[in-house]
Amino acid sequence: MKSKKKSPARKRIRIGIVGTGGMANCHASEFLKIPGVELAAVCDVDAKRAGEFAAKHGGLAAVFTDFKKLLLEGGVDAVSNVTPDSLHAPLSLQAIAAGKHILCEKPLATNHTDALRMARAAKKAGVINMVNFSYRNSSAIQTAAQLVREGKLGEIVHVEASYLQSWLSSQIWGDWKTTPAWLWRLSSKHGSKGVLGDVGVHILDFATFPVGKIKSINTRLKTFSNLKGKRMGEYPLDANDSALMQVEYANGALGVIHTTRWATGHANSLFLRVHGTKGALRLDLDKSYNELEICLGKDIHKANWKTINASQTPSIYERFITAVRTGKQGEPDFARGAEIQKALDACFESDRIGRAVRL
């Protein structure tokens, strides 16, 4: 008699989403594109928002306002934690304790100690754990990492990376002064680590995934509070909104990494340039997620650049579901999230003491 057991590739997976704000829409629609994945439960402290979210994404999910109840009664295999940054550690730890696989938004936590605790708890519980460094979804960065790994660029010497936004100087994403999702990002009281914690995590991942670990980091943070005023209702506007990092990699390369919410003229731009002794590569995600430019071989003597098209790469949502179905941990995992969190903590320490900090 044939077994009725489904192959891992088609196994039904029931997802629960906690935090049904802006980014959760992306989680829901990306998960629902994957055959066999169901949105079984959603949770938000704002009941109306959670209800509308469930209706918008298929209308089948059970709606909760208490995450503990979702874990007990929601019948989910895995949880996506899309709450504000300060809730990543406590809610993810609850999900892990309940034996749920977990995809957590970035930054993994608000400090390295908590991030390590999460990584260890997930490992001990044997659950799949991934952190949403979403720009790994670019096939160009995957190919960049492969080229460096294969030694095509020779020894890496110089790196330049930036993540530029302008929502403080423009209305590109609406009026930040009246939007809670922007206001909590400006307030350390609400757990924000500023632009560094919000998108600095992405650019640190982007600049180290292909090149390798950072050995030391010298950081200057700034909050242009005179321009913004110091408070908006319950939100003190004190979190950094510009960050400059000078880094030395473990392989000896030097790098400049920077990010700001004041890059007027840019909505959400990521750039990376990696220069080695035998070649170079550059990425501009405004132009393409799948193309990168390379200068290799004889071309380096004429500074000739060629554009190459990288093949598609599965999204983090697809990689997470594959990991849950196969039981094989996917990347980037909580350990990687904790590694980046260590660099973030070092940035704050470096800014405080005014010199480089070793990691």
Ligand X SMILES: NC(=O)c1ccc[n+]([C@@H]2O[C@H](COP(=O)([O-])OP(=O)(O)OC[C@H]3O[C@@H](n4cnc5c(N)ncnc54)[C@H](O)[C@@H]3O)[C@@H](O)[C@H]2O)c1
Residue 19 binds ligand X (CB under 6 A): yes
Residue placing its CB nearer to ligand X in the complex, 179 or 246 = 179
In the complex, minimum distance from the CB of residue 180 to ligand X, in angstroms, rounded to a whole number = 6
210 closest CA partner among 260, 279, 268: 279
Residue 172 binds ligand X (CB under 6 A): no
Residue 22 binds ligand X (CB under 6 A): yes
> Is the alpha carbon torsion for 182, 187, 191, 197 positive or negative?
positive
Whole-number Å distance between alpha carbons of 261 and 194: 10
Per residue in 290-324, is it b (16+ CB within 10 Å) or e — as a string? bbbbbbbeeebeeeeeeeeebeebbbbbbbbbbbb
Cβ contacts of 174 within 8 Å, gap of 6 or more:
182
Whole-number Å distance between alpha carbons of 58 and 76: 16
Which of 181, 250, 254, 267 binds ligand X (CB under 6 A)? It is 181
Question: Please, is 49 exposed, middle or buried when counting C-beta atoms within 10 Å of its C-beta (0-12, 13-18, 19+)?
Answer: middle
Residue 333 binds ligand X (CB under 6 A): no
Residue 341 binds ligand X (CB under 6 A): no
| Stretch of residues binding ligand X (CB under 6 A), selected from 76-84, 147-155, 221-229, 261-269 | 76-84
- The two counts, helices (H) then strands (E), for the chain are 12, 17
Which of 23, 125, 172, 308 binds ligand X (CB under 6 A)? It is 23
The token duo for 46 is 């704002």
Residue placing its CB nearer to ligand X in the complex, 241 or 357 = 241
Which of 46, 52, 238, 349 binds ligand X (CB under 6 A)? It is 46
**24 membership: H or E segment, kind and range:** helix 22-32
The DSSP bridge partners found for residue 160 are 256, 273
In the complex, minimum distance from the CB of residue 234 to ligand X, in angstroms, rounded to a whole number = 14
Residue 159 binds ligand X (CB under 6 A): no
CB-CB contact of 259 with 200 (8 Å)? yes
The DSSP bridge partners found for residue 162 are 258, 271
Residue placing its CB nearer to ligand X in the complex, 196 or 253 = 196
Which residue minimizes CB distance to ligand X?
21
Residue 267 binds ligand X (CB under 6 A): no
Residue 45 binds ligand X (CB under 6 A): yes
The DSSP bridge partners found for residue 246 are 218, 256
Residue 212 binds ligand X (CB under 6 A): no
- The residue count for binding ligand X (CB under 6 A) is 25
Residue 190 binds ligand X (CB under 6 A): no
- 104-143 binders of ligand X (CB under 6 A): 105-106, 132, 134
Residue placing its CB nearer to ligand X in the complex, 19 or 279 = 19
- Respond yes or no on whether the N-terminal peptide bond of residue 107 is cis (omega within 30° of 0): yes
Residue placing its CB nearer to ligand X in the complex, 249 or 271 = 271
Residue placing its CB nearer to ligand X in the complex, 347 or 357 = 347
In the complex, minimum distance from the CB of residue 21 to ligand X, in angstroms, rounded to a whole number = 2
Would you tell me which residues interact with ligand X (CB under 6 A)? 18-24, 43-46, 49, 67, 82-85, 87, 105-106, 132, 134, 180-181, 198
